[in-house]
With several copies, the nearest count.
Chain A
């Protein structure tokens, strides 16, 4: 009996830990198990905000992270994803000093297109676009030391891409 009670308590705490939002009421019986949770809040819940995970930096390299979900009070902005550094090293925007950059803001890119270089221990590692889209911003200056996963470009994905 005592053990059951302990299990029930632990159950309640586990449940609550597992919930992202605390309920208004929680009921847990045990003899053939009932669990009841209620989050209702008197009035009708507001329209839920669009589900959008916020980025944790450094983002997973090579994977785009959504960084700017549309604001609610400001006029809708373009949604961009970031292209992250595939290696720690020095970031170059151009193939050699003085040469024009691989890409400029406003350029459209296609998957696999070289958009920059990372030099790590004399190795030149290409930075490649991972989707079709348009370069909205270059986030690091030429010659900047970057870490793995650090955002390099903001890209507006092409819906069709």
Chain B
């Protein structure tokens, strides 16, 4: 593979670090990783050609420690840095500092991350590009009175969102004029604490709705293709639990229209790399733009399974300056793919994380099943990081077969350790629910299931 990098430093951990390492191997690129003392025994540290310990368990002092990551890149002689998802993946400053160090940041250019990461500028940009928007304020709302005024124009229910937010964090819902002041204040406070930026904006609240996102790939020469959609409506407090493609029970026309808008948005933003355009779809089949994720997504395997395209390899090629090898007509999704996130959480205790040692850890295998995991028997789930244990994905020619396959696959999960619980049984109950089986579900599904079966 001529013309990609000599060494890529992976500035991440867990399953995605291993996923990226595998892509590098296949491209003939040397793999370096950073790790925290907490992760010293993990698989990717062994897998990599070079591994550099950059700090203690707390992410702030390791995976979010920009000087340490850059120093590690220098130490191993990396040409490029892959940030994975989370951590520094959508940090425009980090992307900029990489460039200053002569390192290629595998992701969009810093100014694009910045423009799309700020919800206010992102909404302006996308509205300008012709994407359908929910009624809301384009600019941030600076006072409670201003919020009240804007809210009356938008109508209730509405959502107060952090300008610097994303990924389901920094969101408050106002259902009546009465609760607006407190929701407004609360969300500002949270936004300040979470993102160091208290600005918020208001938007019509569409819920329940379907959460559908479009995967795009864009090269540095203005070529953009989309790789179809993922339906991520099975969420608990804005955290995705199950994702699938194609989106069931939505018309192909609607989805094609959404995809075309995503491509339009990516072009308008000067997007480069792999990115995701998130939309909400209402019961009437209208859709509205929500946000852009400037990184590889956790749920990218479902897109890979139906398209056959290795998204991480494409990211690396694009970052190395290669033009896209794919034209839109080369992207031919086939069949149905579903991903279930097996988390170390206790569904009975409001999905509280359950860190601990893994005494038993067996994941599914066999035909048309893919598992992305970094965990292993004898390893442990660290309390320092997210609770994702394994992504179990299946492919089948049709949705019925895919559901049967996923049930079979989840039945093969055997994970045990002192104090460790997993979401496996909860995922099985989602799969078994009539709404999910019929493909007629929305972001309210999980809450409805939990009320039926509070465990």
Contact = CB atoms under 8 A, between A and B. Distances in A.
Interface of A: 13, 17, 56, 58, 60-61, 87-89, 120-121, 123, 145, 147-150
Given A120-B67, A120-B68, A149-B53, A88 B37 contact: no
Contacts of A123: 67
A60, A89, A120 pick with most chain B CB within 10 angstroms = A120
Interface stretch (B16-24, B70-78, B202-210, B306-314): B70-78
A50 B66 CA distance: 37
B420 interface: no
B53 A147 contact: yes
By DSSP majority rule, is chain A's interface helix, strand, loop, or mixed?
loop
A148 B37 contact: yes
A147 B45 CA distance: 14
A60 B37 contact: yes
Interface of B: 37, 40-41, 52-56, 62, 66-68, 70-72, 75, 359
Contact of B52 (A13, A56, A147): A147
User: Which 4 residue pairs spanning A and B have beta carbons closest together?
Assistant: A121-B67, A147-B53, A120-B71, A120-B67
A44 to B, nearest CB: 31
A58 B40 contact: yes
A56 B40 contact: yes
A88 B359 contact: no
A150 B51 CA distance: 13
B40 A121 contact: no
B37 A149 contact: yes
A60 B56 CA distance: 7
A88 B75 contact: yes
Contacts of B68: 87-89, 120, 148
Contacts of B66: 121
Contacts of A150: 53
Q: Which of B52, B68, B359 has the most CB of A within 10 A?
A: B68
Contact of A148 (B41, B53, B70): B53
A88 B11 CA distance: 14
A56 B40 CA distance: 9
A58 B37 contact: yes
Contact of B41 (A17, A87, A149): A17
B359 A148 contact: no
A61 B41 contact: no
A87 B61 CA distance: 9
Residue of A87, A121, A147, A148 with most partner-chain B CB within 10 A: A148
A89 B73 CA distance: 10
Nearest to B62: A148
Contact of B56 (A17, A61, A147): A61
A121 B37 contact: no
Given A56-B40, A147-B53, A148-B56, A17 B71 contact: no
Contacts of A13: 40-41
A88 B40 contact: no
A121 B71 contact: yes
5 contacts: A17-B41, A89-B68, A121-B71, A123-B67, A150-B53
B54 A147 contact: yes
A88 B55 contact: yes
B299 to A, nearest CB: 32
Nearest to A85: B53
Contact of A89 (B41, B62, B71, B359): B71
A54 to B, nearest CB: 14
B296 to A, nearest CB: 25
Most buried by A among B52, B56, B70: B56
Contacts of A147: 52-54, 72
Given A58-B37, A123-B67, A88 B56 contact: no
A89 B55 CA distance: 11
B57 to A, nearest CB: 9
B431 to A, nearest CB: 27
A56 B37 contact: yes
Contacts of A145: 75
Contact of B53 (A17, A58, A120, A121): A58
